[in-house]
Amino acid sequence: MAYNPNKELKKYYGISEVAEQFNVAESLLRYWEKEFSNIKPRKSGRGVRQYTKEDIEEVRLVYNLLKVRGMKIAAAKAVLSKNKKAAHDTSEVINRLQAVRDQLLSINRELGEL
């Protein structure tokens, strides 16, 4: 079998890993799960939440609406119900801009060390 560098090594992520990724409490993720029907992590027989990459993208969408753009829950729900694709596209742009910002900050630090 050939090695595929693009293949994801991990299929599921625990709630603590997802909470750490977004720097939020696990309880906030559980709350969002109740409020937003698009966040539906799989639950094991013991009730342990298992997030896929797609689930994490749904969390990222809600995170961007609530935390980055500062919307209230009702407004975020309205945006998702009216035009989820536009909200997803905007979230994707924000993520790309944040990645570019991080790269520029890294380059700036490296230049400062010269």
pTM of the model: 0.72
pLDDT band at 25 (very low <50, low <70, confident <90, very high): very high
How far apart, in whole angstroms, are the C-alpha atoms of residue 69 and residue 31? 19
| Cα 62 to Cα 99: distance, rounded to the nearest angstrom | 18
Q: 39 versus 113: which is more confidently predicted?
A: 39
Q: What is the mean pLDDT of residues 80-94?
A: 76
Burial class (CB within 10 angstroms; exposed 0-12, middle 13-18, buried 19+) of 96: exposed
| Tens-place pLDDT, residues 54-77 | 999 899 989 988 998 899 999 999
Burial 43-71 (b: 16+ CB within 10 A, else e): eeeeeebebbeebbebbbbbbbbbeeeeb
State both tokens at 73.
């829950």
